[in-house]
Structure 1
Protein backbone atom coordinates (compact mmCIF):
# COMPACT_ATOMS: atom_id res chain seq x y z
CA UNK A 1 0.00 0.00 0.00
CA UNK A 2 1.39 3.39 -0.86
CA UNK A 3 0.44 7.00 -1.37
CA UNK A 4 -2.88 8.24 -0.06
CA UNK A 5 -3.77 4.96 1.67
CA UNK A 6 -0.88 5.02 4.08
CA UNK A 7 -1.27 8.73 4.81
CA UNK A 8 -4.90 8.11 5.73
CA UNK A 9 -3.88 5.09 7.79
CA UNK A 10 -1.32 7.18 9.68
CA UNK A 11 -4.03 9.69 10.51
CA UNK A 12 -6.44 6.98 11.59
CA UNK A 13 -3.98 5.01 13.73
CA UNK A 14 -2.01 7.87 15.27
CA UNK A 15 -4.81 10.44 15.16
CA UNK A 16 -7.01 8.85 17.82
CA UNK A 17 -4.40 8.84 20.60
CA UNK A 18 -3.33 12.32 19.51
CA UNK A 19 -6.87 13.68 19.72
CA UNK A 20 -7.32 12.08 23.14
CA UNK A 21 -4.04 13.56 24.38
CA UNK A 22 -4.86 17.04 23.04
CA UNK A 23 -8.35 17.00 24.57
CA UNK A 24 -6.88 15.81 27.87
CA UNK A 25 -4.29 18.59 27.83
CA UNK A 26 -7.03 21.13 27.12
CA UNK A 27 -9.23 20.08 30.03
CA UNK A 28 -6.36 19.84 32.49
CA UNK A 29 -5.68 23.55 32.08
CA UNK A 30 -9.29 24.63 32.61
CA UNK A 31 -9.93 26.72 35.72
CA UNK A 32 -12.45 24.22 37.12
CA UNK A 33 -10.25 21.19 36.54
CA UNK A 34 -10.99 18.18 34.43
CA UNK A 35 -14.40 17.59 36.04
CA UNK A 36 -15.79 20.76 34.47
CA UNK A 37 -14.55 19.99 30.96
CA UNK A 38 -14.71 16.25 30.50
CA UNK A 39 -18.05 16.30 28.62
CA UNK A 40 -16.83 18.99 26.24
CA UNK A 41 -13.60 17.08 25.65
CA UNK A 42 -15.54 13.94 24.82
CA UNK A 43 -17.64 15.88 22.33
CA UNK A 44 -14.59 17.44 20.67
CA UNK A 45 -12.41 14.32 20.59
CA UNK A 46 -14.13 12.54 17.67
CA UNK A 47 -14.35 15.58 15.35
CA UNK A 48 -10.71 16.40 16.15
CA UNK A 49 -9.75 12.86 15.16
CA UNK A 50 -11.57 13.34 11.83
CA UNK A 51 -9.67 16.60 11.28
CA UNK A 52 -6.35 14.87 12.00
CA UNK A 53 -7.21 12.11 9.51
CA UNK A 54 -8.08 14.72 6.89
CA UNK A 55 -4.96 16.80 7.52
CA UNK A 56 -2.75 13.72 7.31
CA UNK A 57 -3.59 13.50 3.60
CA UNK A 58 -1.84 16.85 3.08
CA UNK A 59 1.62 15.51 3.96
CA UNK A 60 3.90 15.14 0.93
CA UNK A 61 4.79 11.51 1.73
CA UNK A 62 3.37 8.78 3.91
CA UNK A 63 6.67 8.51 5.78
CA UNK A 64 6.41 12.20 6.68
CA UNK A 65 2.81 11.68 7.89
CA UNK A 66 3.80 8.74 10.11
CA UNK A 67 6.87 10.56 11.42
CA UNK A 68 5.21 13.86 12.24
CA UNK A 69 2.15 12.27 13.82
CA UNK A 70 4.33 9.92 15.90
CA UNK A 71 6.47 12.85 17.05
CA UNK A 72 3.46 14.98 17.98
CA UNK A 73 2.01 12.01 19.89
CA UNK A 74 5.27 11.59 21.78
CA UNK A 75 5.39 15.28 22.69
CA UNK A 76 1.71 15.35 23.73
CA UNK A 77 1.98 12.29 25.95
CA UNK A 78 5.29 13.53 27.29
CA UNK A 79 3.63 16.76 28.40
CA UNK A 80 0.86 14.71 30.02
CA UNK A 81 3.41 12.62 31.93
CA UNK A 82 5.63 15.55 32.92
CA UNK A 83 3.76 16.39 36.18
CA UNK A 84 3.94 12.73 37.27
CA UNK A 85 7.67 12.63 36.63
CA UNK A 86 8.23 15.85 38.55
CA UNK A 87 6.46 14.53 41.68
CA UNK A 88 8.63 11.43 42.09
Structure 2
Protein backbone atom coordinates (compact mmCIF):
# COMPACT_ATOMS: atom_id res chain seq x y z
CA UNK A 1 0.00 0.00 0.00
CA UNK A 2 1.60 3.22 -1.18
CA UNK A 3 -0.23 5.53 1.24
CA UNK A 4 1.54 4.34 4.34
CA UNK A 5 4.97 4.42 2.68
CA UNK A 6 4.35 8.04 1.76
CA UNK A 7 3.24 8.74 5.33
CA UNK A 8 6.43 7.17 6.68
CA UNK A 9 8.51 9.34 4.38
CA UNK A 10 6.57 12.43 5.39
CA UNK A 11 6.58 11.91 9.15
CA UNK A 12 10.05 10.43 9.54
CA UNK A 13 11.62 12.20 6.59
CA UNK A 14 11.51 15.74 7.96
CA UNK A 15 13.46 15.02 11.17
CA UNK A 16 15.85 12.87 9.14
CA UNK A 17 16.43 15.69 6.64
CA UNK A 18 17.00 18.16 9.47
CA UNK A 19 19.46 15.84 11.21
CA UNK A 20 21.36 15.14 7.98
CA UNK A 21 21.64 18.84 7.17
CA UNK A 22 22.77 19.57 10.72
CA UNK A 23 25.44 16.87 10.50
CA UNK A 24 26.50 18.31 7.15
CA UNK A 25 27.05 21.86 8.36
CA UNK A 26 29.07 20.89 11.41
CA UNK A 27 32.14 20.15 9.33
CA UNK A 28 32.10 23.23 7.12
CA UNK A 29 35.31 25.28 7.24
CA UNK A 30 33.54 28.45 8.38
CA UNK A 31 31.66 26.67 11.14
CA UNK A 32 27.96 26.07 11.39
CA UNK A 33 27.13 29.79 11.36
CA UNK A 34 28.25 30.09 7.74
CA UNK A 35 26.23 27.14 6.53
CA UNK A 36 22.99 27.39 8.44
CA UNK A 37 21.13 29.22 5.65
CA UNK A 38 22.26 26.66 3.08
CA UNK A 39 21.25 23.83 5.40
CA UNK A 40 17.78 25.28 5.88
CA UNK A 41 17.40 25.71 2.12
CA UNK A 42 18.59 22.15 1.43
CA UNK A 43 16.25 20.60 3.99
CA UNK A 44 13.14 20.87 1.80
CA UNK A 45 14.60 19.21 -1.33
CA UNK A 46 16.18 16.52 0.85
CA UNK A 47 12.84 15.91 2.57
CA UNK A 48 11.10 15.60 -0.81
CA UNK A 49 13.81 13.16 -1.89
CA UNK A 50 13.29 11.08 1.26
CA UNK A 51 9.52 11.04 0.68
CA UNK A 52 10.09 9.95 -2.92
CA UNK A 53 12.63 7.35 -1.86
CA UNK A 54 10.28 5.92 0.74
CA UNK A 55 7.96 4.83 -2.08
CA UNK A 56 10.69 2.50 -3.37
CA UNK A 57 10.58 0.26 -0.30
CA UNK A 58 9.02 -3.16 -0.80
CA UNK A 59 6.59 -2.78 2.08
CA UNK A 60 5.26 -0.13 4.40
CA UNK A 61 6.84 -1.89 7.35
CA UNK A 62 10.26 -1.74 5.72
CA UNK A 63 9.83 1.99 5.04
CA UNK A 64 8.88 2.71 8.66
CA UNK A 65 11.69 0.57 10.09
CA UNK A 66 14.47 1.86 7.83
CA UNK A 67 13.50 5.50 8.25
CA UNK A 68 13.15 5.10 12.01
CA UNK A 69 16.57 3.43 12.15
CA UNK A 70 18.10 6.22 10.05
CA UNK A 71 16.60 8.80 12.45
CA UNK A 72 18.02 6.95 15.44
CA UNK A 73 21.47 6.81 13.87
CA UNK A 74 21.51 10.50 12.87
CA UNK A 75 20.12 11.82 16.12
CA UNK A 76 22.38 9.43 18.03
CA UNK A 77 25.36 10.90 16.19
CA UNK A 78 24.19 14.43 17.02
CA UNK A 79 23.72 13.46 20.66
CA UNK A 80 27.17 11.84 20.81
CA UNK A 81 28.82 14.89 19.26
CA UNK A 82 27.07 17.11 21.78
CA UNK A 83 28.01 14.82 24.68
CA UNK A 84 31.67 14.85 23.60
CA UNK A 85 31.57 18.66 23.31
CA UNK A 86 32.52 18.36 19.64
CA UNK A 87 29.53 20.47 18.65
CA UNK A 88 28.79 24.05 19.67
CA UNK A 89 25.75 24.64 21.88
CA UNK A 90 22.53 25.57 20.15
CA UNK A 91 22.21 28.67 22.30
CA UNK A 92 24.74 30.71 24.23
CA UNK A 93 22.08 32.11 26.57
CA UNK A 94 22.80 29.49 29.24
CA UNK A 95 26.53 30.18 29.47
Answer yes or no: same fold by TM over 0.5: yes
User: TM-score, length-normalised on structure 2?
Assistant: 0.87
Query: How do 1:39-50 residues align onto structure 2 when only pairs under 5 Å count?
Result: 39-50=37-48
User: Which ranges in structure 1 are unaligned for 5 or more consecutive residues?
Assistant: none
> Per-residue deviation at 1:16?
0.2
Give the CA RMSD over aligned residues.
Answer: 0.8
User: Which ranges in structure 2 are unaligned for 5 or more consecutive residues?
Assistant: 86-95
Q: Is 1:58 aligned to 2:56, yes or no?
A: yes
- The answer to which structure has the higher helix fraction is 1
| Alignment length (residue pairs) | 85
User: TM-score, length-normalised on structure 1?
Assistant: 0.93
Q: After TM superposition, what 4+ stretches of structure 1 lie above 3 angstroms from structure 2?
A: none
